[in-house]
Amino acid sequence: MDAPRARPLEALPKAHLHLHFTGSMRHATLLELAARDGIRLPDALVHEWPPRLAAADEKGWFRFQRLYDVARSVLRTPDDVRRLVREAAEDDVRDGGRWLEIQVDPSGYGARFGGITAFTDLVLDAVREASESTGLGMALVIAANRTRHPMDARTLARLAGQYAGRGVVGFGLSNDERRGSTPDFGPAFAIARRAGLALVPHGGELLGPESVVTVLEHLGADRLGHGVRSADDPRVLDRVVAAGVALEVCPTSNVSLGVFGDLTSVPLPTLLEAGATVALGADDPLLFGSRLAGQYATMRAAHDLTDADLAELARMSFRASRMPEWRRTECLAEVDAWLAG
Ligand SMILES: [Zn+2]
């Protein structure tokens, strides 16, 4: 057996396909903006950061959402939005990121920023600026919220469709998987599909394989946010693999929310052995305390991954992305160079 050479993971080029806008905020920025506006933060976001979470029950998820709402409340000006996006890009670049698809639910910000269209324009402008200043390739995923009415999701799908080819590459569905009825969101996903967007709903995180099947059947997912619980049922996992659906696996998030007891229980080897395409993601670094390279580092340590395994994970992140083909070719060559180096 070759001993792993442990090449630096920050130097491994990768694409980041599962990062939420609000949850990408740096902890220091949260503290600074809250102090500026005299917003009192709960201890879990100050002295006890990163917070201890567990979403195994609805009470735990409610607590997670409460912290999320507090984080959202510190973003008050267009410059705050630009800063958040720029810092998310800088942090990904530091972690070896070459491409980022950042996910936002505009309805959480519409009231403060002149409506969901104005807010989307602002975020897209911030994305262009951040991409130019950092060199990171970036695109936006618009996500609907499954705890709101499916009509709201349709409105967001139409909005996302208007920006297809102009910075928006995907349409998602987030929040507590146990709430709302997945089939009710089918029409919204049909709108997004017709617009040519990647369909990237969350599923198979808090709920098991049956939720994966429902999301595949009713929403027609191209990628699954998490989808990690497909590993609970070999037949479902085979179906995911046969359909070519990529899984956005977020190990630190899974453990923080109690989906798995520890990092070694995150079933990455099971997914890979079955032939699944996996793209590791950080989900919400603000609440889980770990960014992009951290996901590769924890999986390397938990599952004794070789550098060849890690390079393949990075390649899969590029293949599952909606990045331009010329950029993908370039990045795949960079992964080969990392492994050869
Ligand atoms: Zn997520």
CATH 3.20.20.140 assigned to 9-340: yes
Give the global pTM.
0.96
Give residue 261 CA to ligand 1 midpoint distance, Å.
Answer: 18
Q: Nearest to residue 116, comparing CAs of 174, 159, 161?
A: 159
Q: Are 293 and 96 in contact (CB under 8 A)?
A: yes
Q: Are 255 and 266 in contact (CB under 8 A)?
A: yes
Within 195-260, residue ranges assigned H as helices are 209-219, 234-242, 251-256
Average pLDDT in the chain: 95
Stretch 265-270: mean pLDDT, rounded? Answer: 98
Give residue 326 CA to ligand 1 midpoint distance, Å.
Answer: 28
Q: Nearest to residue 106, comparing CAs of 45, 33, 17, 167?
A: 167
The DSSP result for 76-137, as a single string, is: -SHHHHHHHHHHHHHHHHHTTEEEEEEEE-GGGTTTTTTSHHHHHHHHHHHHHHHHHHH--E
The domain ranges of the chain are 9-340
Asked if the model's pLDDT at residue 2 lies above 70, the reply is no
- In the numeric block, the tokens 């709430």 are attached to 179
Give residue 18 CA to ligand 1 midpoint distance, Å.
Answer: 6
Copy the structure tokens of residue 220: 């027609």
* pLDDT value of residue 3: 53
- Give the active site residue among 205, 248, 273, 330: 205
Asked if the model's pLDDT at residue 27 lies above 60, the reply is yes
Task: Give 5's contacts (C-beta < 8 A, 6+ positions apart).
Answer: 307
Asked if the model's pLDDT at residue 236 lies above 70, the reply is yes
Asked if the model's pLDDT at residue 65 lies above 90, the reply is no
| Packing angle of the helix pair 78-94, 292-303 (nearest 10 deg) | 40
Confidence of residue 61 (pLDDT cuts 50, 70, 90): confident
205 catalytically annotated: yes
Give residue 25 CA to ligand 1 midpoint distance, Å.
Answer: 14
Stretch 252-269: mean pLDDT, rounded? Answer: 95
Give residue 17 CA to ligand 1 midpoint distance, Å.
Answer: 10
pLDDT digits (tens, 9 = 90+) for 86-139: 999 999 999 999 999 999 999 999 999 999 999 999 999 999 999 999 999 999
Say what percent of the chain tops pLDDT 90: 89
Confidence of residue 287 (pLDDT cuts 50, 70, 90): very high
